[in-house]
Structures are given as structure tokens and as C-alpha cells.
Amino acid sequence: MSHYKMHLLVCAGTGCHASESDLVYEMLHDEVERKGLNDDVQVIRTGCFGFCEKGPIVKVLPDNTFYTQVKPDDAREIIDEHVIKGREVERLLYLDPETNEHVIDSKHMGFYKKQLRVALRNCGTIDPENIDESIARDAYMALGKVITEMTPQEAIDLIKRSGLRGRGGAGFPTGLKWEITSKNQSDRKFVVCNADEGDPGAFMDRSILEGDPHSVLEAMAICGYCIGASEGLIYIRAEYPLAIRRLKIAISQARSYGLLGDNILGSDFSFDIKLRYGAGAFVCGEETALINSMEGHRGEPTNKPPFPAEKGYLGKPTCVNNVETFANVPVIVLKGAEWFSSIGTEKSKGTKVFALAGKINNVGLIEVPMGITLREIIYEIGGGVKGGKKFKAVQTGGPSGGCLTEKHLDTPIDYESLMAAGSMMGSGGMIVLDEDDCMVSVAKFYLDFIVEESCGRCAPCRIGSKRLYETLDRITVGKGEQEDIEILKNLGSVIRDTALCGLGQTAPNPVISTLDNFMEEYVEHVHEKKCRSGQCRDLLYYVISEENCTGCMACTRVCPTHAISGERRQPHVINQEVCIKCGACMEKCQFDAISLMKDYPREVQLTTK
């Protein structure tokens, strides 16, 4: 038996893959071989460590040394210095953004301290292309336990007691969904894994599938046993080639071990899984649209009821769950419902994976217990707002969600509290915004996405979202009126109440939540034609400083609209009504007298008119 003294884990997730982690792996591997260290050192490709921004990541065990941004050329130094001589390669260590010191050990990185990895338990620890490593870390043990020791109802009760809720957005109790599907009698039933992940910026499901595919396969089989289904389908977007490849490998390895297929582990339970590919439309993540798409129809939602649990794929009872929801199941079976429900808040149990992004020092994939506060996430795990800027808001829930502000920083986050704050858990996107972000523009960004992604089936969403977008656009270019704010409010609530599917129903959320929390920014845009964060280009003004202007008249000659006036050797003035913001004057002025401002002195304007 092998006794490796050292493991070198090389991240092979999509993020690191894109920055040549494959080559890093090859080089490390070759170097280990060249130095004759094969018996002592094992080099393994793993899934995502969650620290993709600083990838490729190489972690050295057992010392937990965490190397970031490793290049293929660094391989030799890592082997020579660290592996052979036991000295860390300092320049590759993670630099703490607060103290500006190198952190040797991932245990001491703020990023990992407050995390609790349940769904991501194996991501970054095992080789996802090797089923044996998964088995060594308990894969299929839960399935074995369920089919040999429990009745379907007992297993359903266990999931119900654990308090697990859907991680795909709505937070529906998973055990209950399984129970409902199990009670609907039919000759055929289906288990569907929703791996569409359409929320822009979200990549937690992809990372789970890439880093630990067996956890999802196993959970789907457990679900099949519980609801009485023998067929599973994974609906995955075609833009996830690496996840698809790993899934294919995992499915074929599980089949050859007999862990998928007929009579699993000698029981009379049979279950197999196939892949279905989506074209990547956001609306196809909605379960009825997803089912339509799998049947070869247009990926459009249909009215609920009937729910998929009753009439789903091919008209048969179908249980649709999200990737992360599934990834939690095997651990719950092995560690118990009580263990799981001891984590989290009263109504939201367990953990949630978030994709932390935006103006934050540690961008990445994190998994935290429910009930953690935004402050802990942003300042402890995230390492604070980038560049020491002032925090403004956090956007959660993607295009269906809203913004949380300063006053929510200490609210324990779970499904209910996010809802109460006017946002949503959603699939787990979490974007930090600072003083340089304009909240009207943020709302406009999401509405733009919705307009693109609306399937067009129902009018409130197709036409209403377009109107919302146009109104926001007017406001950001300085043409907004008070009336526009009223339009946003009224139209928003009409769309929310009348759209057919969740996409449309939640589309106004980014608008409503920014109106609620940042009304003053809307008012400024509309009445003062001012954008305090300087994001709206049309609300920036070229202004001549009275002090610096020598009155050389160079600018007046280049201005295409004759917006600049003034006597020779006297300070000049730009008429904002006429200026088209071409910037020519600023470029021409040799005395740095012209600058772009968020405000302009209105009195001066009035006197020149």
C-alpha cells in the first residue's frame, strides 16, 4: 500500500483550467518523476477551491500550504524548494489584503476561517475523475445505507426532519417535494437534476459538478429510491464542457462499479442517469420550461398547477431538484437529520454556497452556515471592500433579487430574512457594490438581462420589462421626470402580480428594492441630473475652473457646438445646455483647467445665459 508523504493538489476547475492549471499539473508531475519522488509525492487534479480569481491554485498537504497564481514555470521551484527542502516558496503564497503579509497555511486565511463546507466537502480535496477517491470519502455509502436499511418513507422522513430546502431559488422543503412525488402513482417517474444555472455570475453548481460529481449522482439515486423512480436526467447547459466531461466520466465509472444500473448493491432497486443539454437560456432553469425543453419543445414555462411532481417529464411525476440541493443529501443520510438541522437558523437549515463577486478583496466561491451575517461574509471571508472604498450594498439573488444595505449588515441571512429585506436567496449570486456603483444603473443592468431573456410568452413580462428598462434608461441619461419614478413603482407591482412564471414575477425586484433603499439616488438623477457615483456618463459635466483657466481660447476653437464662451484672458465657461460631452476641450486645454464633474455650478450657468 502506498504511503505518500505529500500530496500536491492542483485545481482543475474551470477558472484555474483557463489559466493553464493543466500545464502546471503536467510540470509538477514530470518534475516529481524526474526527481524520483513518485513514491513519496502524489500529484492530484481536484475541483475548485473557491479562490478562482487567484488561480491556478496549488495546495500542498499535509502542511496546507496554499499557493496562488502558480505558473507552469514555478513547478520546479515548488518541487526543489518546498517538497525537497521543506521551504515554502514565499512569492507564491497568498498575500493577506489587510496585513499585506504572506499567509502560509490555508487554515489561517480569513477566506476559509468562517466557511463550513458541506455541499463543497470534496471540492478541492479529491480527484473528481477517480471514483475510488470519492468512495474513500464516503461516496455511495449513503445510498447503500438507504437501500439496505431504510424504507423509502423512512428516508423521506429523514430528509424532512433535516429541514433541507431547495437551493435553486425558491427554498421549497426537499423532503416534502419527494413525499408528494412518491405518492403520485405511475408506471414511470423521473428524477431531474437542474444544472441550468442561468444567473449571471453564478457558478456554484458548475463547481460542484466539476469537483464532486458523484455526490450528485448518488443523491439522485437516493431520490429515485424514495420516490419510486428508476430514471434520472441531468439538465445541464452546453456551455459547461468541463462539468459535462466529468459527469460523463463519473456516470460511466459508477456504472462499471454497478453503483448505477440494475439491482444496485444486490437490491431490487435499479437506477440510471442520462444527460440532457440546454442551450443556456435563463428561463430554461424554471422547472416547467426545463421539462418542455427536455421534451424537445420550446423552452417556455407553462402554468402551474399541475406541478412537475404530478405531471412532469413526458407527463409523468417528476422530482426536480437543484445540484446543490442534491449535494447535501448524502451527508444528511450519513451524519443524520439532527446534525444537519443543528446548523443554520430556525427555518433555514444547513449551509449555502455563494459566488462572492464585485468590489471585494477575496472574490470566490464560499459556503457558509445559514444565519451568518453579511458583515462576516464581506469583512471576514471577503477581506473587506476593495481599495478601502465605502460599502454601499450587496446584490443577492441575481436578476430575481434585490439589494441589501448598510442597515442589513448584521441581519443573520436565511431565506426569510432576505425576503423580508426585499431580496432573495436565489441561487447564490452575491455582488458587493461600493460608493462608485450607481444603483439606478445596477437596476438597469438586471432589467437589460431580463429583456434579453424573457421568452415572450406573456405580455406583462415581454412588454412590461421593456418599459421598465426604457424608463430606467431615461433616468440614467438625464431625461427622467418625477413621473418616471411613479411608473417604475406601479408597473413593477403589476408585472409582479400578473407575469406567468417566476422570471417575470421577480423581474421588477431589482428596481423595487433599489427604489426602497436608494430613493435619494433616483431623485438626484431625475431632479438634479446628477449621478453621485459618476457612473452615468450623461450626467457628468465638463467644467472649467475659474482659477486655472488663462483664457487662452484654445478650447473654444475645438468645441464643435460652440458651447464655450469667454473673453480673451478671462475665465471661460461651458454652457451645459449646448455641450455634447465630446471631451475635445479637455484634451486641448494645456492648463488642466477643464475637468469632468458630477456637479456643475448652476449659478454660473444662469448668469451666462
Ligand X SMILES: Cc1cc2nc3c(=O)[nH]c(=O)nc-3n(C[C@H](O)[C@H](O)[C@H](O)COP(=O)(O)O)c2cc1C
Nearest to 393 by CA among 402, 406, 412, 380: 406
**399 neighbors 415 (Cβ within 8 angstroms):** no
Residue range at the interface with ligand X (CB under 6 A); choices 114-122, 166-174, 347-355, 372-380: 166-174
- Sorted by sequence, the CB contacts under 8 Å of residue 479 that are 6+ apart come out as none
Q: Which of 178, 180, 191 is nearest to 270 (CA)?
A: 191
SS3 166: coil
Q: Which stretch binds ligand X (CB under 6 A): 25-33, 71-79, 315-323, 571-579?
A: 315-323
Task: Decide whether 154 or 587 has the Cβ nearer to ligand SF4.
Answer: 587
Query: Does 185 engage in binding with other proteins (CB under 8 A)?
Result: no
Spatial separation of the C-alpha atoms in residues 481 and 131, rounded to whole Å: 61
For residues 27 and 72, the answer to whether their CB atoms sit within 8 Å is yes
Among residues 231, 235, 237, which one has the least CA distance to residue 318? 231
Cell of 485: 419614478
End-to-end CA distance of the chain: 89
Binding string, 29-48, against ligand FES, x = CB under 6 A? -------------------x
* Ranges within 491-550 binding ligand X (CB under 6 A): 501-503
Per-residue binding letters, 301-330, with ligand SF4 (x by CB under 6 A): x-----------------------------
Q: At 603, which helix (H) or strand (E)?
A: helix 602-608
Nearer to ligand SF4 among residue 494 and residue 580 (C-beta)? 580
Site for other proteins in 106-145 (CB under 8 A): 107, 125-126, 132-133, 135-138, 140-141, 144-145
Among 283, 309, 433, 511, the residue binding ligand SF4 under the rule CB under 6 A is 283
Which of 275, 343, 487, 584 is in the footprint of ligand SF4 by CB under 6 A?
Answer: 584
- Please give the Cα distance from 582 to 594 (Å, whole number): 13
Buried b (16+ CB within 10 A) or exposed e, 407-418: ebbebbbbbebb
197 lines the binding site for ligand X (CB under 6 A): yes
| Residue 458 beta carbon to ligand SF4: minimum distance, rounded to whole angstroms | 3
In 379-515, DSSP assigns E strands to 391-396, 402-405, 429-434
Q: Does 540 bind ligand SF4 (CB under 6 A)?
A: no
Question: Which one of other proteins, ligand SF4, ligand X, none is in contact with 125 (Cβ closer than 5 to 8 A by kind)?
Answer: other proteins
Cα 156 to Cα 399: distance, rounded to the nearest angstrom: 33
**φ/ψ bin of 202: left (φ > 0), alpha (ψ from -120 to 50), beta (otherwise):** beta
Residue 461 binding: pick among ligand X, ligand SF4, ligand FES, none (C-beta 5-8 Å cut-off by kind): ligand SF4
Asked whether position 334 contacts other proteins by CB under 8 A, the answer is: no
For the segment 49-78, give every residue that binds other proteins (CB under 8 A): 61-64
Interatomic CA distance for residues 21 and 46, integer angstroms: 11
Q: Does 16 bind ligand FES (CB under 6 A)?
A: yes
Match 445596477 to its residue by C-alpha cell: 442
Going by the DSSP 8-state scheme, the letter that residue 42 receives in this structure is E
- Does 1 contact other proteins by CB under 8 A? yes
Between CA 129 and CA 238 the distance in angstroms is: 20
> Pick from ligand X, other proteins, ligand SF4, none: which does 581 bind, CB < 5 to 8 A by kind?
ligand SF4
Q: One-letter amino acid identity for 596?
A: L
Residue 103 or residue 431: which is nearer to ligand X going by CB?
A: 431
Chosen from other proteins, ligand X, ligand FES, none, partner binding at 5 (C-beta under 5 to 8 Å by type): other proteins
Q: Which of 9, 15, 133, 354 binds ligand FES (CB under 6 A)?
A: 15
Q: Which does 109 bind (CB under 5 to 8 A by kind): ligand FES, ligand SF4, ligand X, none?
A: none
Footprint on this chain of ligand X (rule: CB under 6 A): 166-170, 172, 194, 196-198, 282-283, 285-287, 320-322, 325, 427, 501-503
Footprint on this chain of ligand FES (rule: CB under 6 A): 11, 13-16, 48-52, 55, 57
